[in-house]
Structure 1
Amino acid sequence: MLPRFLISGLTAAVLALSPMLPAAAEQLRVASLDSLESAPVLHSNAVLIINAQTGVPVFSKNADKLSSIASITKLMTAMVALDSNPDLDAALTISDDEVDRLKRTTSRLPVGTTLTRREMLLLALMSSENRAAHVLARSALPGGTGIFVSRMNQKARQLGMTHTRFYDPTGLNSGNVSTAQDLAKMVAAAYRYPLIRQFTTTQEHDVYVKTRLTHYKNSNALVREGEWQIGLSKTGYIQEAGRCLVMHAMVGTTPLIMVFLDAGGSAARTNDARAIRTWLEGHPGTWLAG
């Protein structure tokens, strides 16, 4: 017998996504539900896996649970920044405004560092560099960071992310909250931006920070390993959010949107992704159809 929480979670997820893909509810078949009896036990407290072609959810766990989302926030920051049609070659300088006084995190971009907007966007998405994300927000629109965060919330509403709230552009503020259902919508929207796809899946990059060559690497081990076909990726972590991961990735010949929130250990989110892929490959169903 299928566990009740999986049935209710899948039903809620289908209904939540049905405005985006009206036929989603009808496409979710009983055969797919029955196969979930052998689904793996995952460490993430909220999970949603969706067929990106059809919108059909293939796995759900607490998909409507509200959680802090940490640096998953930066996908919205990147979209709003790019929506302003910025000059990507313009120089941006890290100022004292970018210093984190909330969590007191450190950065390899000291005050006074100047990079192009393109490089700041790359570092924010690839390595989850908080100061890079903050300077992108501060410099994007007249009115500064406050107006930018308002635009983030406005865009969330436009995307139907009804349970999502943003208070800062980095994700350091634990008040940035969402659900796995909402974040699946955000991943689908972010995937339509070529630069976001490119930068979130770049394995490594070197930049000159003042006069010193500094090496950055992707915060997602699955991207760095190169064994997956990943079209978009973003990690996140603060204590209140746990380890988070969202991806747009191929399993077999099918693109899937994957959301993992509030995992425990540092490798738990990637281990969950591996477990889901192994399970899906071992239980091919309608979600793996081309």
Structure 2
Amino acid sequence: MKQKFKAALLLGALLGVGLNAPLLAATSKKETEQAKKSQAAAKPAVKSAAKSAPTKKVAAAPAQKSAKLPAAKSGKSVQASSQTAKKPVRRVSMADIDPSRLALYSSSALVIDQSTGQAVLEKHPDTVVPIASISKLMTAMVVLDAKLDLHEVIAIGEDDVDGLKGTRSRLPVGTTMTRETAMLLALMSSENRAAHSLGRHYPGGMPAFVQAMNRKAQALGMVNSRFEEPTGLSSNNVSTAHDLARMVSAAARYPEIRGFSTTAEARVELNGRPTDFHNTNALVRSDNWEIGVSKTGYISEAGRCLVMQARVADKPVVIVLLDSVGKMTRVGDANRIKRWMESASLVSERRPV
């Protein structure tokens, strides 16, 4: 009996396994197919994500960075940015700028605003120093004040040769020219023989001419100035920046001086031969400058000198630069002054009323 019962159990177990095997196999197969389908569907998605990953990262970077910031910090940052944008800009005028911080390499310097008569810039303006060929502006004024015939022909003589410094000249002894041409060459090219000849052909000769120069200086209020001869070769021709500013302002009232001193170049016929002369001040050839009167000067005792009447930052000014170190330093100082004044003027114009 027991053996029959065991046999029946064994038979039932075998039948159960046989019946469930197909079902388990089908289920396993179905799950395998679903897994394959899922993997197949997942591969394009991963590939697509990989292709678009760089774009997403760039686009999302700012948002992620912003999201990481705490709210309080983010708000503070925005507020600070707003304050920076609204921060008032300091307005500066020429009066606010310390001229001593302007790097000038001339021993004496002075800038006068002619519209107000006030000094815009000063550097040792009352130091008495040799002025070299700046003297020729006074020479021209004395000749013009005497109302001498500018078309009268005068000659270069032995007395006009520089025996003091031994400087050269392009005007040989015996060269003839009109008084007007001599004045042009003296002012434009700083020809010493031409300037000396103007004084020598003055009524009463050289002594009378030098006296007239000093009388003119006193009349202009140039109390610290003295002239010994018309060329400036003598170191005894002395003045101050303040006195020279007076002289330049006076010279600017003579049309001939304005025209001759700012002529860039001229071809002059001397003894039947055309000769080219150029202005000793390179700034008269610059489109950046509007110059009314110009004169350079140099002897070893005076250094490099430059005086001008010009329009800078829409203001008529007189610029005096004495004893500059280096051949181009006076020009450099003039340009630095010009940029300084223009910068200050632009800022001043932006100042709210």
TM-score range (shorter-chain normalised) is 0.7 to 0.9
Alignment-derived partner of residue 14 in structure 1: none
Find the partner of 1:210 among 263, 271, 286.
271
Shift of residue 196 of structure 1?
Answer: 0.2
Shift of residue 33 of structure 1?
Answer: 4.1
Quote the Cα distance in structure 2 between the aligned partners of 1:209 and 1:133.
16
Find the partner of 1:270 among 331, 336, 339.
331
Quote the Cα distance in structure 2 between the aligned partners of 1:97 and 1:274.
39
Shift of residue 34 of structure 1?
Answer: 3.3
Alignment-derived partner of residue 234 in structure 1: 295
Quote the Cα distance in structure 2 between the aligned partners of 1:38 and 1:159.
29
Alignment-derived partner of residue 183 in structure 2: 121
Instruction: Supply the AA of the counterpart residue of 1:152.
Output: M
8 A Cα contact 2:156 2:197, kept in partner: yes
Query: CA RMSD of the aligned region, Å?
Result: 1.8
Q: Deviation string for 1:147-185 (max 9, x for gaps)? A: 100110011001000000000100000000000000000
Quote the Cα distance in structure 2 between the aligned partners of 1:243 and 1:67.
12
Alignment-derived partner of residue 247 in structure 2: 186
Alignment-derived partner of residue 65 in structure 2: none
Find the partner of 1:49 among 96, 111, 122.
111
1:226 to 1:122, Cα distance in 2 relative to 1, 3 A: farther
Shift of residue 208 of structure 1?
Answer: 1.5
Quote the Cα distance in structure 2 between the aligned partners of 1:231 and 1:116.
24
1:235 to 1:219, Cα distance in 2 relative to 1, 3 A: same
8 A Cα contact 1:51 1:287, kept in partner: no
Alignment-derived partner of residue 59 in structure 1: 121
> Are 1:99 and 2:183 counterparts?
no
Alignment-derived partner of residue 45 in structure 2: none
Quote the Cα distance in structure 2 between the aligned partners of 1:155 and 1:86.
16
Instruction: Supply the AA of the counterpart residue of 1:282.
Output: S
For residue 221 of structure 2, give the secondary structure of its aligned residue in structure 1.
coil
For residue 341 of structure 2, give the secondary structure of its aligned residue in structure 1.
helix
Instruction: Supply the AA of the counterpart residue of 1:88.
Output: L
Structure 2 gaps, min length 5: 1-92
Quote the Cα distance in structure 2 between the aligned partners of 1:232 and 1:286.
28
> Are 1:223 and 2:281 counterparts?
no
Quote the Cα distance in structure 2 between the aligned partners of 1:71 and 1:100.
13
Alignment-derived partner of residue 201 in structure 1: 262
Quote the Cα distance in structure 2 between the aligned partners of 1:177 and 1:267.
22
For residue 88 of structure 1, give the secondary structure of its aligned residue in structure 2.
coil
Find the partner of 1:149 among 206, 210, 223.
210
For residue 140 of structure 1, give the secondary structure of its aligned residue in structure 2.
coil
What is the percent sequence identity of the aligned residues? 53
Instruction: Supply the AA of the counterpart residue of 2:169.
Output: S
1:287 to 1:51, Cα distance in 2 relative to 1, 3 A: farther
1:53 to 1:148, Cα distance in 2 relative to 1, 3 A: same
1:221 to 1:160, Cα distance in 2 relative to 1, 3 A: same
Runs of 4+ aligned structure 1 residues displaced above 4 Å come to 285-288
Quote the Cα distance in structure 2 between the aligned partners of 1:87 and 1:38.
47
The structure whose RCO (Cα within 8 Å, separation 6+) is larger is 1
Quote the Cα distance in structure 1 between the aligned partners of 2:247 and 2:331.
20
Find the partner of 2:195 among 133, 137, 144.
133
Instruction: Supply the AA of the counterpart residue of 2:291.
Output: I
Instruction: Supply the AA of the counterpart residue of 2:122.
Output: S
Alignment-derived partner of residue 24 in structure 1: none
8 A Cα contact 1:167 1:175, kept in partner: yes
Shift of residue 146 of structure 1?
Answer: 1.1
Instruction: Supply the AA of the counterpart residue of 1:262.
Output: D
TM-score, structure 1 as length reference: 0.86
Quote the Cα distance in structure 2 between the aligned partners of 1:37 and 1:197.
29
Quote the Cα distance in structure 2 between the aligned partners of 1:269 and 1:258.
11
1:54 to 1:33, Cα distance in 2 relative to 1, 3 A: same
For residue 168 of structure 1, give the secondary structure of its aligned residue in structure 2.
coil
Alignment-derived partner of residue 85 in structure 2: none
8 A Cα contact 1:190 1:196, kept in partner: yes
Quote the Cα distance in structure 2 between the aligned partners of 1:199 and 1:73.
15
For residue 283 of structure 1, give the secondary structure of its aligned residue in structure 2.
helix
Alignment-derived partner of residue 174 in structure 1: 235
> Are 1:248 and 2:309 counterparts?
yes
For residue 98 of structure 2, give the secondary structure of its aligned residue in structure 1.
helix
> Which 10-residue stretch deviates more, 220-229 or 123-132?
220-229
